[in-house]
Structure 1
């Protein structure tokens, strides 16, 4: 299946270090070589790069690895196709507008025989179960809150409801963000780490690269990195429990505050 990478932080930060190790899994240290993509929120804007080439052979991925784009919300994906051919329109992340905001989504898993009906507003462009699920999620939110974006306390239970419904049909690990809140749902496998003061050095699993974050950060910085499996071998990553939908804001999970 595919793999996910996300970042949420309290100050704009680049994801070059994490993407260096993550992208190696797209054909070098693992076989997720059926396309890749990444999205960066910058204010209300969203900068996206997708490519049906593997992330280890894509010149666009080389650019992302070397160019420090700073963002507080990032979602990346490397694909191992289960539904839909290898094509640009089937590359994650997917992006749509809702309530005057961009929403970005990436999925790891498989929803066999999933085909939503009665869709009025959102339609899939490609033919993946992932994009269809994203369209159904946004369609549901749009129907439940027709007059605009609700407070997070009202949005979260509806998102949990539609997530549980989709997860009941198959494997549904996903990352979702509107550039304001960052959602991470674990169906089978997903974990995260929060880096904050006192910072230390981190070493990638997939590449022999070490970064000392003490040289790159200030004491007030805080960064949460979410991934399918840990990206470093000298840090403690927290597994997300199956069925759990986490919300991150400013580099911290805040889900418990919603209950």
Structure 2
């Protein structure tokens, strides 16, 4: 199973601590990794077809604390599509004059939606096809960027056409909000003042968040499985769709 990681904050924050533990999981998911950071209306995206545990790009991300309010990362275990750079998540498309970033965990069987010229996959994964279809259908239903909850309502209407083909855990962001859907496994934690100390599940690393934050900071982290051993993570229910804005869930 692939692994998802995402972060949504009210102030630019680095994801080095979470990504360090997340990258360790690539030992079992060795078919590529990627991470995308929103900075204003722009996106920095780093992808590699080799596993994060061995990738110099992953080491760069760990050592270079890029600060962002919305981050999406993915570790791939290939099921549909060969191991190649064009099949490595996250995927990026433009819609309504904004970048959209998407990553998927799951397997969609016999999924071949009709796509028009505006949104076509570059690679051959079921994930990228699903992303293109979602962007295509969102563009049909809205003339401009809808509000986060309004977009969540539209996504909820579209999802059954995809989930009928299999598991569709995903994260999606346009740099202003972050949407996360669970078919099987997804968890989140929303950190706020007073911040405490946390220890990674997969790596001998601990951090005191109070030393790196202010009283007004809010940080939500979404992951396939909890990343820390001494914090309380909330599990999504199967079929649940949540939208995060400014470091907190709206639904």
TM-score normalised by structure 2 residue count:
0.98
Q: How does 1:9-88 map to 2 (within 5 A)?
A: 9-27=9-27, 31-88=28-85
Structure 2 residue 110 is the aligned partner of structure 1 residue 113: yes
**1:148 Cα deviation from its structure 2 partner:** 1.9
Counterparts of 1:69 and 1:160, CA distance in 2: 32
SS of the residue corresponding to residue 171 of structure 1 reads coil
Residue in 2 that maps onto 1:91: 88
- Conserved 8 A contact 1:51-1:88: yes
SS of the residue corresponding to residue 153 of structure 2 reads helix
Residue in 1 that maps onto 2:97: 100
Counterparts of 2:246 and 2:146, CA distance in 1: 20
Counterparts of 2:16 and 2:91, CA distance in 1: 21
- Conserved 8 A contact 1:12-1:72: yes
- Conserved 8 A contact 2:9-2:69: yes
Structure 2 residue 242 is the aligned partner of structure 1 residue 246: yes
Out of 134, 148, 156, the position equivalent to 1:160 is 156
Counterparts of 1:251 and 1:153, CA distance in 2: 15
SS of the residue corresponding to residue 25 of structure 1 reads helix
1:20-73 CA-to-partner distances (Å, cap 9, x unmatched) read 00000001xxx1110000000000000000000100000000000111000000
- Conserved 8 A contact 1:77-1:92: yes
Counterparts of 1:91 and 1:71, CA distance in 2: 21
SS of the residue corresponding to residue 32 of structure 1 reads coil
SS of the residue corresponding to residue 236 of structure 1 reads coil
Counterparts of 1:151 and 1:218, CA distance in 2: 28
Structure 2 residue 170 is the aligned partner of structure 1 residue 174: yes
Residue in 2 that maps onto 1:236: 232
Pair 120,62 (structure 1): closer, same or farther in 2 beyond 3 Å: same
Counterparts of 1:48 and 1:130, CA distance in 2: 17
Counterparts of 2:43 and 2:159, CA distance in 1: 24
**1:143 Cα deviation from its structure 2 partner:** 1.1
- Conserved 8 A contact 1:164-1:243: no
Instruction: Provide runs of 4+ in structure 1 moved above 4 Å.
Output: none
1:65-108 CA-to-partner distances (Å, cap 9, x unmatched) read 11100000000000000000000000000000000000000000
Pair 71,118 (structure 1): closer, same or farther in 2 beyond 3 Å: closer
Figure out how many residues of one structure are paired with residues of the other and give that number.
Answer: 251
